[in-house]
Amino acid sequence: MASIDLVGVSKQFGALSILDDVNISIGDREFVVLVGPSGCGKSTLLRMIAGLEPISDGTISIDGAIVNHLGPQKRDLAMVFQTYALYPHMTTAQNIGFPLKLRGSSPEQIERSVARVASTLHLEALLDRQPRALSGGQRQRVAMGRAMVREPRAFLFDEPLSNLDAKLRHHMRIELRQLHKSLGATSIYVTHDQIEAMTMADRIVVMNRGKVEQIGTPLELFDRPANTFVAGFLGSPTINFAKARLSAGSKDVTFEDGIYPLALNGASDIAAQDVIAGVRPQHIEIVATDVAPLKGTVVLVEHTGCETNVILDVGNSEWTVQTLSRHRLNQGEQVGLKFDPAHLHLFSASSQERILW
Amino acid sequence: MSKARKSVLCWVALSPFLIIVLFPYLTMLSTALKQKDEIFTFHRSWLPREFYLGNFVELFVDRNFGRALVNSLTISVGATLLSLAVAIPAAYALTRMRVPGNSALTNYLLITQMISPIVLIIGLFRMFAYFGLINSLMSVIIAHSAFFMAFAVWMLRSYFATIPKDLEEAAWIDGAGRFSAFVRIFLPLCLPGVVVTAIFTFVNSWNEYAMSLTLLRDVSQQTAPVQIAFLTGTLYQIEWHLIMAATLIASVPVAIVFASIQRYLIGGMSLGGVK
Ligand SMILES: Nc1ncnc2c1ncn2[C@@H]1O[C@H](COP(=O)(O)OP(=O)(O)OP(=O)(O)O)[C@@H](O)[C@H]1O
Ligand SMILES: [Mg+2]
């Protein structure tokens, strides 16, 4: 098991900059999830760690030793590809045993290890089949098996669950977490599914356009997003934003369109400025109009069964409120909105960075 | 529509093509089994007077056709092996590695195929004469593999490009070196492509005439197509009974070879290793 450090890692394809000054330090036994929108460079970064993609600038080290020029064979990492990449001409058993065969293990030894892995992944009945005769979920488990059969210094996963149905995905998520617990293996896991990120990670790295936006535990990122991108990326439904003005000494926030000011007891050394205010849908309560600082007009009510999502016009923005109570609301009705100021996120309108108050 | 009726209809629709394809073979067979005096009769008959194998005997015993077949086989197998030995690594490099001028090189390969070998024949002759290789089967093996290699590279390259790079990368991460991943993962997967390319090279080499005629001056070195051609023009008469017997025999290896690769030509291998 190992720690992995990325220092100032950059990647260019020709003139195109894909990754820019990425710094991530991953501790031994840590489970780190890389998230970000499609095309932000997650797979590229993972491939660079694996040694499949040359590094344009910066250093990658494993256990303190720089591996920039070490081939993928010598890094002793295991990777589960987005495409599974099973060897089509080999059976499940041969696929899983391949890394051991390369290391010159004896046939009995290979058979024992394959049997052990197959029983963890419930693949015993499929050992003699070729990949083409397996379902997507089964292929995915074989790909995991091939990674698990040896004890690599770290596991790299590239969206391994993206092709599974919701139920199997949930099952595999739990299975992966347990696997991580029992092996204690350093893992880097790429996904753009935020639920996967939130539930599986020790720490999450949020990336956007080749840059790291924020690194932290799932709850840190959820509760104190560093900028509007992170705030908007994590959480479902997405956080509500509105333009607002923060008064000097951060005493209160005034929303546009003459919406009521919100009294805060903030730090006194922050200058008055234009801000973007954010509140998560789960943190807003629908109340009577006369006791509420904020008002909105109902546009749509969605019942998902468990929660109810109310979509409202608040000033110039569209907000979503998520509640557990089944409000009887009509379109066009005015309602009051209330939230604890502790759940208000303020970001500078100019830099989009979080303002601490 | 029932399955039987469907297949009868298919056969009816295909029968004109079948007749066109089979006609030369039937003529060949029918003539090869006839005696010399039986060929130019006024009342033509498909069936020979008797089942006569004398033409084949004459061919092998008097005309030494067996020697020509062995020569042809040596050359075709040699040319196939040599051109694959060069074309496989070349095609691998063109699809998998960063080669400067990759696309220019590929186009150049195609352009060489537009030149007929007959244009190059004098140059080739002088070159092989310089190396003292005239009348050596080796010269034709080299010439054939050089000439058919471009096609082989072209064909292998397009086949290699269909094999996902992920598979080799997975092998590297599993600990395989570049060569080991090539041999254990890549080659088994592109075997159908290699086989088809090998067959095409073999058939092309087997049928090639101009270079073999020019580079092999000695009768004992002649290849089958060259010897068949000699049967038409060396004497005052054209010996159709022998020519047909010889072409029949010469087309057998090609027919066997094509029948054996049908499976690769039709099916292609469904991979299923990546989603
Ligand atoms: N070989 C290449 N040449 C040029 N650009 C490339 C190359 N490979 C990837 N890119 C670009 O790099 C960017 C990042 O790609 P990458 O595959 O890392 O994205 P990703 O974050 O994994 O996206 P996804 O979530 O869709 O898998 C993309 O804009 C892509 O177009
Ligand atoms: Mg990706």
Residue type, A111: E
The pLDDT of residue A75 is above 80? yes
> Does residue B222 sit in the same domain as residue B96?
yes
Reply yes or no on whether the pLDDT at B260 is more than 60: yes
| Contact flag B167-A139 (C-beta cutoff 8 Å) | no
Burial class of residue B94, CB neighbours in 10 A (0-12, 13-18, 19+): buried
**Structural contact between residues A48 and A41, judged by C-beta atoms closer than 8 angstroms:** no
Rounded distance between C-alpha atoms, residue A100 and residue A96, angstroms:
8
Is A355 inside any structural domain?
A: no
Domain boundary among A208, A232, A256: A232
Same domain, A282 and A225: no
Euclidean distance between CA atoms B181 and B133, whole angstroms: 39
Bridge partner list, A261: A254
| pTM, two decimal places | 0.81
Range of the domain at A299: 237-348
**In terms of domains, do B36 and B104 share one?**
no
Across residues A330-334, what is the average pLDDT? 89
Q: Please indicate, yes or no, if residue B59 is contained in any of the structural domains.
A: no
Is residue A99 exposed (0-12), middle (13-18) or buried (19+ Cβ within 10 Å)?
buried
Q: How confident is the model at residue A53 (pLDDT cuts 50, 70, 90)?
A: very high
Please name the residues in contact with B128: beta carbons below 8 A apart, sequence gap of 6 or more. B134, B139, B143, B215
> What pLDDT, in 10s, does the model give residues B23-59?
988 888 888 888 888 877 777 778 877 888 888 888 8
CA angle B253/B258/B262 to nearest 5° reads 155
Report the domain count for chain A: 2
A73 shares a domain with A118: yes
Q: How far apart are the first and last CA of chain B?
A: 36
The Cα A157–Cα A121 span in angstroms is 16
Chain A nearest C-alpha distance from B108 (Å): 26
Q: Are residues A213 and A137 in the same domain?
A: yes
DSSP string across B157-173: HHHHTTS-HHHHHHHHH
Mutate to test the pocket of ligand 1, among A10, A18, A156 (most ligand atoms within 8 A of CB): A18
Q: How confident is the model at residue A222 (pLDDT cuts 50, 70, 90)?
A: very high
pLDDT band at B234 (very low <50, low <70, confident <90, very high): low
Chain A: residues touching B (Cβ < 8 Å):
50-52, 71-73, 75-79, 81, 83-89, 98-99, 102-103, 130-134, 136, 139, 146, 163
**Interval A244-273: pLDDT, tens:** 888 877 778 888 776 767 777 766 677 888
Least confident of A72-76, B172-176, B209-213, B254-258: B254-258
Task: Tell which residue, B96, B195, B188, B159, has the closest CA to residue A88.
Answer: B188
Output the domain CATH number for residue B242. 1.10.3720.10
CATH code: domain of residue A26: 3.40.50.300
Structural domain range at position B36: 3-54
Q: DSSP class of residue A323?
A: E
CB B210 within 8 A of CB B117: yes
Amino acid occupying residue A315: G
| B41 and B69 within one domain | no
The pLDDT of residue A185: 87
Are residues B116 and B98 part of one domain?
A: yes
Locate the chain A residue with the closest alpha carbon to B164.
A85
Which site among A67, A87, A101, A155 would you substitute to test the B interface, given the most B Cβ atoms closer than 10 Å to its Cβ? A87
A130, A27: one domain: yes
Looking at the structure, tell me whether residues B18 and B90 fall in a common domain.
Answer: no
β-strand partners of A79? A156
Residue B192 tokens, joined: 């159908």
pLDDT in tens, A164-201: 778 878 888 888 888 888 888 899 999 988 888 999 99
Looking at the structure, tell me whether residues B17 and B132 fall in a common domain.
no
Same domain? A163 vs A81: yes
Specify if A217 maps to a domain. yes
Task: Provide, rounded to the nearest whole percent, the portion of chain A with pLDDT above 70.
Answer: 98
Residue spans of beta strands (DSSP E) within chain A: 4-13, 16-26, 31-35, 57-62, 65-66, 77-80, 154-158, 186-191, 203-208, 211-216, 240-246, 252-255, 261-263, 273-279, 285-287, 294-303, 308-314, 317-323, 334-338, 345-348
- Integer CA distances (angstroms), B45 to A166, B6, B246, in order: 74, 35, 21
Q: Quote the pLDDT of residue B252.
A: 86
Judged by DSSP in three states, A288 sits in: coil
Domain count, chain B: 2
- Residue A322's CATH number: 2.40.50.140
pLDDT above 90 coverage of chain A, percent: 60
- Count other Cβ atoms within 10 Å, centred on residue A128: 10
Residue ranges with CB less than 5 Å from ion ligand 2: A 43
| Residue B189 and residue B267 share a domain | yes
- A-proximal residues of B, 71-90, CB under 8 Å: none
Tokens standing for A232? 């908007």
Q: Does B166 touch chain A (CB under 8 A)?
A: yes
Residues A152 and A275 in one domain: no
**CA-based nearest residue to A46, from B274, B169, B161, B97:** B169
Looking at the fold, whether B112 and B205 belong to one and the same domain comes out as yes
- Ligand 1 pocket, CB under 6 A: A 13, 16, 18, 36, 38-44, 192
Query: Averaged over A305-312, what is the pLDDT?
Result: 90
Test B275 with A84 for CB contact under 8 angstroms.
Answer: yes
Q: What is the pLDDT of residue B272?
A: 44
Mean pLDDT of A94-107: 94
B105 shares its domain with B72: yes
pLDDT of amino acid B270: 42
A189 bridge partner residues = A33, A157
